[in-house]
Structure 1
Amino acid sequence: MELPFFPALFSTVKSLVVKQPFFPTLEDWLVNHPKILEFSWINGQTPASSQRFLTLTVFSYISFTFILSQVSRPFLARPVLKSISAVHNIFLLTLSFIMALGCLVSIFSQVPNFNTLVCFPKRTSPSGPLFFWAYIFYLSKIVEFMDTLLIILGNSMKRLSFLHVYHHFMVVIMCYLCLDSVQSSFSMVLVTNCIVHVVMYTYYLMCTLGMRPKWKKMVTDFQLLQFWASFLIMAMLVFYHFTGSGCSGILSWCFNAVFIVSLLFLFSDFHAKSYSPKVKGN
């Protein structure tokens, strides 16, 4: 059983994209490269794939964040901090763009239909281009811990909120579980998240360079839109799971559902406090 509209839309878009003259070149770079095509996630063998690594990474992030926020911190000259921040933002917005593009090209190259995109068959192996980009995405979330360090070194402690810390360490756990359990539809979430991060890190870069874009609210709006899109994707996964032979990674789906609900609540609260008419009036 299939959902109406979405399968036809996917087939139409896929047909249009693969016929473009640039597609074979992108496919060679982002899908058919041996390192990408032959990638396989093996727990305990692939770098950063063990549960011990995940536990130590998350624990270290939380511990160092707490300690550094409580003690006297080393002072970085503002020009040095701005330079580091600029390089960090350029790296992450570029990486986010490449991950979104790589995953999209992999989807159009490797995924036969919309049903498979949303619902990986049970016993799907975590190998190939889609899982390579999911792996890079997972590693990028560890790199994003640098966001927190830059906030602390810049003495911008108002930005070091519970939402910031919670979001950064929980998303690493989510990415790990999605890879390890072969989470269905994760590639769709990856694309939407990376597109939002291109916008977000572009905004951060402009602020670092001394500009003050007027679309700060749009960044939070995009993040909220991403969470609603994730709800739609998860709902479609459940539909295919219970109307077909089942989908891979349904248990990690439960973790993701709780996590995204919590993020939606926290970001909505942040949005209300930051952009309500009462706040603007003050």
Structure 2
Amino acid sequence: MVLPKRRRVPLGQIPAIHSLCISLISALTFVGILLSSAADIRDTRWFWRRTRTITTPFQWFLCFPLGTRPSGRVFFWSYIFYLSRFLHLLRTFITILRRRKLTFFHLFNQSILLFMSFVWLEFSQSLQVLAILMATLLYSVVYGFRFWKAVGLLSTACFSFVLNCQVVLLGLNLVCHFGVIFLHFLKGGCNGMGAWCFNSVLNGVILCLFLDFYFKRYLRKRTVGDICEHGAGSTSARYLRRSVPEMKSQ
């Protein structure tokens, strides 16, 4: 092997710069698609009366009217979001260079999200605007948090900030999917439902893999020192260390 085993490649400030770039691009995309959506809602309200599918702006975020084409201001920012997914892939290579264990969930999640972003844009899939808004807001916060940690301005938290944010995103995404189903069957149909069904299957796979990763590899296999910083001889630390083997044996 070229590199000695267990030796990490010194990356310097590259991870911090990468996190900062993603945070800024995500914030820009969030603001851009939000303003473009407001403009499109204002300009297309007259069309809603003909379709009778959409009656409120929130329904438009969940369900595109039938016949919607992937063009205009909103889909421009959807394309920007798709391109930004390639920048996200760099984190996978950063993880490899750091000699950390790369999980199947990480690889699958990164590759599938790139493919899903293309499907959203190609088939004018409903729900994509709301999904992009939630995702870019999450990324701007999470990668901003990672940037401040990388430059040493934040100490390690007692809980996994990134995992908790992913749980919130998955929960909101699941709720929005039920809204799309309601509008599609009771309001006359939504655009891009074939792609939406395929997207839902992929989201279900990601959710199952995430739950498997969270419960089996995070809660049961992480040591107490990785979860929260305690003194080596503190009473709480000794108690939690005795509790971890009990969790693994269950």
Q: How high is the TM-score relative to the length of structure 2? A: 0.76
* 1:222 and 2:165 correspond: yes
Q: Distance in 2 between matches of 1:85 and 1:278?
A: 23
Offset of residue 77 of structure 1: 5.7
Letter in 2 for 1:251: G
TM-score, structure 1 length as denominator?
A: 0.68
2:99 partner amino acid: N
Question: Does 1:201 find its partner at 2:133?
Answer: no
Q: What is aligned with 2:116?
A: 174
Specify the alignment match of 2:232 in structure 1.
Answer: none
Cα 1:73/1:135, change in 2 over 3 Å: farther
What is the distance in 2 between the residues matched to 1:208 and 1:103?
A: 29
Of 22, 35, 42, the match for 1:92: 22
Q: How many residues are treated as equivalent by the alignment?
A: 208
Return 263-272 or 221-230, whichever deviates more. Answer: 263-272
How far apart, in 1, do the equivalents of 2:15 and 2:206 lie?
Answer: 25
Within 2, Cα distance between the matches of 1:92 and 1:193?
12
Unmatched 5+ stretches in structure 2: 46-56, 225-240, 245-250
Q: Secondary structure at the match of 1:124?
A: coil
For 1:142, what is the secondary structure of its paired residue?
helix
- Match for 1:122 among 38, 47, 66? 66
Task: Give percent identity, aligned residues only.
Answer: 28
- Work out whether 1:241 is the aligned partner of 2:184: yes
Instruction: Please name the residue that 1:187 is paired with.
Output: 129
Q: Provide the residue aligned with 1:140 in structure 2.
A: 84
Output one character per residue of 1:130-187: Cα deviation in whole Å (capped at 9) or x when no partner.
111111111111111100111112222x2x1101100011011101111111001101
Q: Which residue of 1 aligns with 2:231?
A: none
Structure 1 unaligned residues grouped into runs of 5+: 1-70
Query: Which residue identity does 2:115 align to in structure 1?
Result: I
For the pair 1:165 / 2:95, whether they are aligned, the reply is no
Distance 1:240 1:163, change over 3 A: same
Residue 238 of structure 1 deviates from its aligned partner by 1.2
The one-letter code sitting in structure 2 at the alignment partner of 1:105 is L
Quick one: structure 1 residues 223 and 126, their matched pair in 2 at CA, closer, same or farther if it must change by over 3 Å? same
Assess, with a 3 A threshold, how the Cα gap between structure 1 residues 276 and 137 changes in structure 2: closer, same or farther.
same
Instruction: Tell me if the contact between 1:182 and 1:249 (Cα under 8 Å) persists in the aligned partners.
Output: yes
Task: Provide closer, same or farther for how the CA distance between residues 249 and 87 of structure 1 changes in structure 2, counting only shifts above 3 A.
Answer: same
Q: Alignment partner of 1:270: what SS?
A: helix
SS in 2 for 1:121: coil
Q: How far apart in 2 are the matches of 1:148 and 1:222?
A: 19
